[in-house]
């Protein structure tokens, strides 16, 4: 049985869920994969968060250098959120010889070339399934499609928080304010929901997918972005009368010349389309390839438990596959 030492950077909602999942799923993962995942270190500067997580105080560190000198460490899970210091920390962990698993779509989308290059140079894996689809194993299928198809279009719902809010407004007649409050109560939305409701989160995810599609770094600033904070109950009713719903849609379209058209915005979706029936905190994305045609992937896109599940899968994949798991990304 191979022992795999794991460190977690950050004990917020996702980091705490990962720590709990490591404890609860330890035996199942060992039985099915032959890997014993052992939590060796946790980086967290908030004493309150560290106490609330109910972990062994001896594994809590308040500086990254302490984490990186931990004996038996193999994989670092970065769930700090925001751009910095997360992006720098990921590069430092890779340079130090550790695989990195991240759910941080902002840092990854803004520093994609830098992070992937660091991973490749260090011959270590950078795994980021949870940064794009939450609990949806999207990138596994996406990589396979990209390997054998010319993908011309991506279109879908990639933010579970906004989808939950819009679903509540449509199905229960809830106001935007009340639907947002309920999303926060359920843990789908952060106390400051700006990143979700103004479309930043969806733009970060689309930038990562578009970077993999185009073979160059697509920065989120290249994406035309409109959030859902301006969507009213009247807009929802109007869509219903027209035979559809309003969804926050992320789309990328690649023309024959290689130019990308990128947008995140609320759109009318007719009821005869699958995306109209993606409810609550679920995500769904359609990938269109020249060989495979349209492929739709769906699952829970928001919430700590689905995200922690995907992170554990990425840890296993990082150890099993190593640098070969990294995206083919030749240009900056």
3-state secondary structure 109-157: HHCHHHHHHHHHHHCCCEECHHHHHCCCCHHHHHHHHHHHCCEEEEEEE
Whether residue 105 lies in the annotated active site: no
Q: How wide is the angle at C-alpha 127 spanned by C-alphas 125 and 128, nearest 5°?
A: 155
d(CA 183, CA 283): 15
Tell me which of 105, 110, 205, 247 is the catalytic residue. 205
Pairing of strands 35-43, 60-61: parallel
Nearest to 88 by CA among 61, 118, 59, 67: 118
Query: What are residue 106's phi and psi, to 5 degrees?
Result: -65, -50
Q: Cα dihedral angle (308, 312, 314, 317), rounded to 10 degrees?
A: -170
Residue positions annotated with a catalytic role: 205
């Amino acid at each position: 049985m191979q022992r795999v030492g794991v460190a977690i950077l950050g004990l917020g909602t996702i980091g705490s869920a990962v720590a709990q999942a490591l404890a609860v799923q330890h035996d199942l993962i060992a039985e099915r994969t032959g890997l014993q995942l052992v939590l060796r270190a946790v980086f967290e500067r908030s004493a309150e968060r560290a106490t609330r997580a109910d972990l062994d105080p001896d594994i809590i560190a308040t500086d990254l250098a302490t984490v990186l000198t931990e004996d038996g460490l193999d994989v670092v899970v970065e769930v700090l959120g925001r751009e910095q210091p997360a992006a720098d920390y990921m590069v430092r962990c890779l340079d130090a010889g550790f695989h990195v698993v991240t759910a941080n779509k902002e840092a990854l989308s803004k520093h994609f070339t830098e992070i992937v290059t660091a991973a490749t140079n260090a011959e270590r894996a950078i795994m980021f399934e949870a940064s794009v689809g939450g609990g949806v194993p999207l990138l596994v299928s996406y990589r396979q499609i990209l390997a054998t198809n010319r993908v011309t279009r991506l279109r879908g719902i990639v933010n579970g928080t906004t989808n939950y809010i819009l679903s509540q407004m449509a199905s229960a007649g809830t106001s935007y304010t009340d639907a947002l409050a309920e999303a926060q109560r359920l843990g789908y939305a952060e106390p400051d929901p700006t990143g979700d409701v103004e479309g930043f989160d969806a733009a970060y995810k689309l930038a990562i997918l578009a970077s993999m599609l185009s073979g160059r770094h697509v920065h989120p600033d290249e994406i035309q972005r409109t959030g859902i904070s301006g969507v009213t109950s009247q807009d929802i009713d109007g869509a219903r009368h027209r035979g559809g719903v309003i969804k926050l849609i992320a789309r990328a379209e690649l023309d024959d010349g290689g130019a990308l058209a990128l947008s995140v915005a609320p759109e009318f979706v007719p009821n005869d389309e699958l995306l109209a029936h993606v409810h609550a905190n679920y995500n769904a994305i359609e990938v269109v390839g020249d060989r495979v045609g349209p492929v739709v992937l769906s699952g829970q896109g928001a919430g700590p438990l689905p995200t922690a599940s995907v992170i554990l899968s990425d840890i296993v994949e990082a150890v099993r596959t190593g640098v070969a798991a990294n995206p083919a990304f030749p240009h900056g």
